[in-house]
Structure 1
Amino acid sequence: MSALPPRLVDLLRASRARRGPLLADSATSAFRLLNGAADGVPDVTADLFGDVVVVSLYRDLTDAEEVTLLDAAVAAWTPRSVYLKRRPREARVLANVAKDALAPESAARGEPVEDFVAKENGLSFHIHPGQGLSVGLYLDMRDTRAWLQAQASGLTVLNLFAYTCAFGVAATAGGAKRVLNMDASRRVLEWGEENARLNGQAVDRYDYVAGDVFDWLGRLAKKGESFDVVVADPPSFSTTKTTRFSAARDYARLAEAAAKVVAPRGRLVACCNLAGLPSRRFEAMVLEGVTRAGRNGKTVGSLGPSGLDFPTPPGEEPALKVHVVQLR
């Protein structure tokens, strides 16, 4: 097990300085402040939401190391609050550890903050820093959401695995004709409705559908419904009452189901955040699924996290891969 690097406060200050353009951007207050080994601190990330920092640990630190890291974060960044998330790499570990041990509800440093609003590209989102491992916004998707907002005018958009509906908010802000948000959890969809209202967007409950995505894709296909853009951003691993999904094993199946509801000349935005899955292999899985659906498709663009706040070590690919496939 590697120890925390020396001169930690200096490393954290340098990491913040490299985000200078984002710090100066009044339209965005949410971005990654520290990205692991690429910023000199392996197995540790830190996300900034306004003046609140969320630190994530991807290995077990000793109590003394945690104290050192948190004290260094306060010294380097002077945040209002720091929240801590412990993220074991294996999903089976998560099921056997108390939630509060992984994601304490209380702030590790600074004052408690239950709910506040962060900005991304001029849009506003509710953030709950003490509410589990996910606080409301996945920051590596910022550039992809900006792309969708720029493309969405007059289009119909299906947002699969919508979580708090940030893609839906971006598409609506870009002038989409209709956005259908779909997720297994009603609770996060209600959070998404709050985000829409926060941005002055009308909310129709029929456009926030809770249920198994595969089940609903089958229903939509049977009805002959189609969308100009389908965004598929699943978790790497998930389980519902009827479906188990692993991106490494099942993405072609997801692409097949999604392709059946993409309109002619429409686009499938296929996203995967599984580290270790090469981008070319992921693209091949997506195109395999499209072919299985009886559609012809070609990749017309690749997106991903901003290199400004999600740098990667030399020779490595970003964990997040996004391929835009146009279907005929």
Structure 2
Amino acid sequence: MLETILKSAFEWRNQLGLLNESEALRIFYGPGESNHPELQHLSADLYKDHLWLTAWKKISSKVLDEACEIMTRILPFKIEAIVLMDRSVVASEAEVVTLRGTSRSGRFAVKEFGVKYLVQMEKTKHPGLFLDHSPLRFWLQQTQKNKTVLNLFSYTGSLSVAAAHGGARKVTTLDLSKHTIEWAKENWANSGFSPEAGDFIYGDTFEWLPKFKKRGEQFDTILCDPPSFSRSKNGVF
């Protein structure tokens, strides 16, 4: 049963040519593609030669082992490592576990629609590239020529990079995490963009919006995708 479900998910993506467009792709999403009692709580994301699995409920070792074996076999290229993020535990206790192979210790680049983004498989809560944003990044590549762009809650800045590849004249990247702002700068530099074409701000969106207004700064495009949970000096939202 597992093989039928996973093969079906892979085959329709392959028929659409999605694997030809990107090295980063969600190859399985259990909540929408399975009614299996365990598999429906699992997703599998491809990052070049790594698979990042996310479990929202506890998955048995038997099902995980079988799923890993099937995905490794049906994908048309070698998978170097499979890692699991178990979201069924308390968020503060969640950590990445390597299930198969040896994952890369540092950041590495993956291509999506011709654009490179840096991802990370170890010592992180997320690889750094949200694959459900893929259509948005593609849209930004097609529509931002000569535009000014403000990317709020920017995380690792992938939307900023996509906008710049689309010809944006100026991109402002803002996030509350110093760690992810530095990651965003790395993403920007890795694409070869000049520092002058981008502003990177470590700060609180709710504090900076009034500052932009006071300065009279306006933007052609504003990207706003806040996290479901965050802490700042002003509290929790």
Q: Which TM-score applies when normalising by structure 1?
A: 0.65
User: Is 1:200 aligned with 2:198?
Assistant: no
User: What is the match of residue 72 of structure 1?
Assistant: 70
- Measure, in 2, the Cα distance between the counterparts of 1:112 and 1:166: 22
User: Is 1:236 aligned with 2:232?
Assistant: no
Q: List per-residue Cα deviations over 1:153-194 (Å, max 9, x = no partner).
A: 111110001111111101111111110000011211111111
- Asked if structure 2 preserves the Cα contact closer than 8 Å seen for 1:9 and 1:75, the reply is no
Q: How does 1:62-211 map to 2 (within 5 A)?
A: 62-77=60-75, 79-88=79-88, 93-95=90-92, 97=93, 99=94, 102-104=95-97, 107-114=98-105, 115-204=107-196, 207-211=199-203
Q: 2:91 is aligned with what amino acid?
A: L
**Structure 1 residues 76 and 10: alpha-carbon distance in aligned structure 2, compared to 1, 3 A threshold:** farther
- Measure, in 1, the Cα distance between the counterparts of 2:226 and 2:67: 31
- Measure, in 2, the Cα distance between the counterparts of 1:222 and 1:244: 26
Deviation of 1:9 (Å): 2.5
- Measure, in 1, the Cα distance between the counterparts of 2:140 and 2:6: 32
Unpaired runs of at least 5, structure 1: 1-6, 246-328
Q: How does 1:225-304 map to 2 (within 5 A)?
A: 225-245=217-237
User: What is the match of residue 46 of structure 2?
Assistant: 48
User: Is 1:32 aligned with 2:26?
Assistant: yes
- Measure, in 2, the Cα distance between the counterparts of 1:42 and 1:87: 14
Deviation of 1:204 (Å): 4.4
Match of 1:19 among 13, 18, 24: 13
Q: 2:88 is aligned with what amino acid?
A: P
- Measure, in 2, the Cα distance between the counterparts of 1:177 and 1:154: 5
- Measure, in 1, the Cα distance between the counterparts of 2:61 and 2:182: 37
- Asked if structure 1 preserves the Cα contact closer than 8 Å seen for 2:171 and 2:198, the reply is no
- Measure, in 1, the Cα distance between the counterparts of 2:148 and 2:85: 36
Identity over aligned pairs, percent: 31
**Structure 1 residues 168 and 206: alpha-carbon distance in aligned structure 2, compared to 1, 3 A threshold:** closer
- Asked if structure 1 preserves the Cα contact closer than 8 Å seen for 2:50 and 2:103, the reply is no
Q: What's the secondary structure of 2:53's corresponding residue?
A: strand
- Measure, in 2, the Cα distance between the counterparts of 1:240 and 1:71: 42
Q: List per-residue Cα deviations over 1:58-83 (Å, max 9, x = no partner).
A: 11123444333333333443522111
Q: Which TM-score applies when normalising by structure 2?
A: 0.88
- Measure, in 2, the Cα distance between the counterparts of 1:130 and 1:79: 16
User: What is the match of residue 282 of structure 1?
Assistant: none
- Asked if structure 2 preserves the Cα contact closer than 8 Å seen for 1:212 and 1:243, the reply is no
- Measure, in 2, the Cα distance between the counterparts of 1:67 and 1:225: 53
- Asked if structure 2 preserves the Cα contact closer than 8 Å seen for 1:129 and 1:135, the reply is yes
Q: What's the secondary structure of 1:88's corresponding residue?
A: coil
**Structure 1 residues 10 and 76: alpha-carbon distance in aligned structure 2, compared to 1, 3 A threshold:** farther
- Asked if structure 2 preserves the Cα contact closer than 8 Å seen for 1:212 and 1:242, the reply is no
- Asked if structure 2 preserves the Cα contact closer than 8 Å seen for 1:161 and 1:184, the reply is yes
